[in-house]
Amino acid sequence: MIPIYALSEKCYYEWMKDHIVRAIDARQTSQWARYMESIGWKTETIGSTHLFIKKLPFIDASLMKIQHPQGPFPFERIDEISRKYKTIWTILEPHMLGYEESEFRKYGYRKSRMLQVHTATIKIDLKKSKKDMFNSFSENAKRNIKKAQKQNLEIRTIFMKEKKNWKYFPVFYSLLRNLSKMKKFYIYSYYEYQKRMMAFKDTSVLIFAYENDAPIAVVWYAYFSNVIAYFQTGITKRGYETLANYLLVWEGLKLGKKLKLSVFDFESIYDERFPKNVPQYKKYTEFKKRFHGELILYPTPWIKIYNLWAKLFYLWGTIL
């Protein structure tokens, strides 16, 4: 597949008018900034771009990361803030909107394989009718949704803006932890997920599948701007057996339409450009692809190193 930023000027212009491409990433929302501050990062904002700065222990220096900001990118202001916080390097992982590789080189950035956030996702157009959207799925996905609908599962849609509904958070985390054990991948702590969901509490929704009053699957969705994002899922063996995971995606898509949003973001998939990074993404990428959304490849991350010792440390880490 040709990366979006490599398209011809005419094709690129037509493609960029698409509301799917122009959709904001969760990491450039005020809610994400609130979450980052709750786990010890400092946030600076330039226009609509959020920059995250982390003070390094024991030394008077810091690191900066900027995740999926839309262009044009404020390089000179980024340098000013870097000097203010004495950052040793800045990792900038751009959105494709307004991306110009020559601008990064002009301001002293180099391509990097140091990933801080996903580099690929799948997005689905919620402007389609429910019928057209369902018919666009793979035969496998359509069949599995229909099978799940015959399992007599109870779907519970829980809006986390209501304080009483936080009793469901431990249920969500328990299902997530169960999935991590089955699939053998790392998850953040209970309290870090709690802080993240608290930052998005006004727009977070947990959609559960219950069987005989027992929770067997869940998806955490959050919405912002015109986007509903598939943030995290949890499931049991029985959830897989009943195909509840397919049904909960369909429920999330319908929720997005009900909320009058226009883009569904699956958040992350495996990116063949970076085969050694997060290889566990392979385990669920095929599942997400069965819903036949639009494949989004973000541009390669860039790094600007401000310190000679940091440059040597970075090169050593790259070799390892």
| pLDDT tens-digit series, residues 249-267 | 999 999 999 999 999 999 9
Give the closest residue to 225 by CA, choosing from 92, 68, 77.
68
Residue 16 pLDDT > 50: no
Q: Where are the alpha helices (DSSP H) in the chain?
A: 9-16, 19-22, 30-38, 75-85, 101-106, 130-136, 139-149, 169-183, 190-199, 237-241, 244-258, 282-289, 308-319
Topology (CATH level 3) of domain 121-297: Aminopeptidase (3.40.630)
Q: Give the CA distances from residue 183 to residues 186, 221, 275, in Å, rounded to whole numbers and listed in that order.
A: 9, 21, 18
Are the beta carbons of 67 and 27 closer than 8 angstroms? yes
Measure the CA–CA gap between 107 and 100, rounded to whole angstroms: 12
Q: Which whole number is the average pLDDT over 185-212?
A: 96
Are 4-117+299-319 and 121-297 in the same CATH fold?
yes
**Cα 269 to chain center, whole Å?**
9
Average pLDDT of every residue of the chain: 91
Each residue's pLDDT tens digit, 31-74: 999 999 999 999 999 999 999 999 999 899 999 999 999 999 99
Domain positions in the chain? 4-117+299-319, 121-297
Query: What is the number of H-type helices and E-type strands within the chain?
Result: 13, 13
Measure the CA–CA gap between 28 and 26, rounded to whole angstroms: 5
Each residue's pLDDT tens digit, 273-304: 988 877 777 878 999 999 999 999 999 999 99
Tokens, residue 252: 């999330």
Confidence of residue 314 (pLDDT cuts 50, 70, 90): low
Q: Give the CA distances from residue 55 to residues 74, 191, 319, in Å, rounded to whole numbers and listed in that order.
A: 22, 21, 25
Query: Domain 4-117+299-319 belongs to what architecture?
Result: 3-Layer(aba) Sandwich (3.40)
Task: Name the pTM for this structure.
Answer: 0.91
Are the beta carbons of 46 and 77 closer than 8 angstroms? yes
Give the closest residue to 278 by CA, choosing from 112, 120, 94.
120
